[in-house]
């Protein structure tokens, strides 16, 4: 029953001309010791070319699961895609082999995470990591073979102590001039001052903001059509957060990259996004342009999120909290999943599931509007 219900996408799927990535009726479960967790229930959304889409919602509503589904990195050991389709540049991602998906990750879709250290190798200098990313992209594009690109390989005898075990890592390579030039250019692009010096540093020698800029440079060096940023500024102080957000917005506007920014912070979404998708309990409950959502929020959950922003600076603060908590995702909701926390709940809300209805500018799943 759950898998068949297009709860978050009852609208007919219309693929727009400027569609880059279209997720349709995607349902994903995780196996856990306590039972099956229905992390995504029939989720549909579209990421358009050259737009910034924010995916917003409380912790545990399924944002990361959606991102990992798109980039093909769901944990193999306990996740299961029950139904749905993900079209990226016309390709059906869920039908691709592991190897084909790896190629998409290298050239079409890239991801950055909350803690950039997780994307950076701790014992390799920035030069080796960025050089590796650029070289791999160049070799994929057919410019050089990797053997040509790496003109220097270290000998085991050059390493001491624990580093000896890491001898196979791409350390101490020299790169052709065009790769060196591209490294410098990509660090300049993300406004890193003195890029030559930064290239010779290790990740632990950089500040959190600098590390995130390097992670963005590495992701962009793959020239992706879609960059997914999962809580990219949560670990940063407010000033650095604003700088990194501004930078990501500028880069998306300048280039050909669309950005899917995942955040629990409506203030972050307001700073960068063109459109917002609000998720609750594994479903899309509202979708609108940024202006629409802030001026005319419809879903009671979205209104509650907005009410949690600090007064006087509605667009700049972290989310407060809404009374109650998100429901147990082991349940299948044949009713409105927000019913237990909704001040407008009606009798119908406890026995029927609302569908997402509306138009391109604004849609919502709530019986107050249908």
List of residues contacting ligand SF4 (CB under 6 A): 300, 336, 338-339, 342, 344-346, 349, 354, 366-368
Minimum distance from CB of 263 to ligand ATP (Å)? Answer: 9
DSSP per residue, 121-168: -TTS-HHHHHHHHHHHHHHHTTS--HHHH------GGG--GGGGGGTT
Closest by CA position to 42, among listed 282, 350, 316, 275: 282
Q: Is 148 in the site for ligand ATP (CB under 6 A)?
A: no
Q: Is 30 in the site for ligand ATP (CB under 6 A)?
A: yes
Sketch the per residue contact string, 326 through 355, with ligand ATP: x for CB under 6 A, - otherwise: ---x--------------------------
| Binding partner of 342, given ligand ATP, ligand SF4, none, CB within 5-8 angstroms per partner class | ligand SF4
| Binding partner of 60, given ligand ATP, ligand SF4, none, CB within 5-8 angstroms per partner class | ligand ATP
Closest by CA position to 352, among listed 5, 89, 3, 111: 5
Contact 63, 326 (CB under 8 A): no
Order across the sheet with 362-364: list the strands: 109-112, 226-230, 258-263, 52-56, 275-280, 283-289, 362-364, 357-358
**Of the two residues 114 and 363, which places its CB atom closer to ligand ATP in the complex?**
114
Minimum distance from CB of 66 to ligand ATP (Å)? Answer: 7
Q: Report the distance separating Cα 114 and Cα 233, nearest Å.
A: 6
| Binding partner of 300, given ligand ATP, ligand SF4, none, CB within 5-8 angstroms per partner class | ligand SF4
| Sheet strands (E) in the chain | 19-32, 35-48, 52-56, 79-88, 91-92, 109-112, 226-230, 258-263, 275-280, 283-289, 357-358, 362-364
Sketch the per residue contact string, 49 through 78, with ligand ATP: x for CB under 6 A, - otherwise: --------x-xxxxxxx---------x--x
Q: Report the distance separating Cα 249 and Cα 251, nearest Å.
A: 5
Minimum distance from CB of 33 to ligand ATP (Å)? Answer: 9
Minimum distance from CB of 293 to ligand SF4 (Å)? Answer: 16
**Of the two residues 75 and 350, which places its CB atom closer to ligand ATP in the complex?**
75
Footprint of ligand ATP on this chain (CB under 6 A)? 30, 32, 37, 39, 57, 59-65, 75, 78, 264, 329
């Amino acid at each position: 029953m759950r898998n068949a219900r297009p709860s978050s996408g009852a609208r007919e799927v219309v693929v727009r001309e400027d569609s880059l990535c279209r997720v349709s009726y995607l349902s994903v479960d995780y196996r856990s010791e306590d039972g099956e967790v229905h992390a995504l229930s029939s989720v549909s959304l579209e990421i358009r070319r050259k737009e910034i889409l924010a995916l917003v919602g409380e912790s545990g509503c399924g944002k990361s699961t959606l991102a990992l589904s798109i980039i093909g990195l769901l944990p193999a050991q306990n996740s299961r895609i029950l139904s749905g389709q993900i079209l990226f540049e016309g390709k059906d991602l869920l039908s691709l082999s592991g190897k084909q998906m790896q190629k998409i990750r290298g050239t079409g879709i890239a991801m950055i995470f909350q803690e950039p250290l997780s994307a950076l190798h701790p014992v390799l200098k920035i030069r080796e990591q960025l050089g590796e990313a650029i070289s791999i992209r160049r070799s994929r594009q057919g410019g050089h073979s990797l053997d040509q690109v790496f003109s220097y390989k270290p000998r085991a005898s050059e390493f001491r102590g624990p580093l000896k075990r890491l001898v196979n890592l791409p350390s101490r390579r020299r790169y052709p001039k065009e790769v060196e030039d591209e490294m410098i250019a990509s660090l300049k692009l993300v406004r890193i001052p003195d890029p030559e010096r930064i290239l010779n540093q290790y990740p632990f020698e950089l500040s959190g903001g600098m590390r995130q800029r390097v992670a963005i440079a590495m992701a962009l060096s793959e020239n992706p059509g879609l960059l997914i940023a999962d809580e990219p500024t949560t670990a940063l102080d407010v000033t650095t957060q604003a700088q990194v957000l501004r930078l990501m917005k500028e880069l998306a506007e300048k280039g050909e990259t669309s950005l899917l920014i995942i955040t629990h912070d409506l203030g972050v979404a307001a700073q960068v996004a063109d459109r917002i998708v609000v998720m609750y309990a594994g479903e899309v409950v509202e979708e609108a342009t940024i202006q629409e959502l802030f001026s005319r929020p419809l879903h009671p959950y979205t209104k509650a999120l907005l009410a949690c922003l600090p007064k006087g600076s509605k667009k700049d603060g972290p989310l407060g909290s809404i009374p109650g908590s998100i429901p147990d995702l082991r349940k299948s909701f044949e009713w409105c999943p927000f019913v237990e926390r909704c001040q407008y709940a009606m009798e119908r809300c406890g026995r029927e599931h609302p569908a997402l209805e509306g138009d391109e500018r604004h849609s919502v799943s709530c019986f107050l509007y249908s």
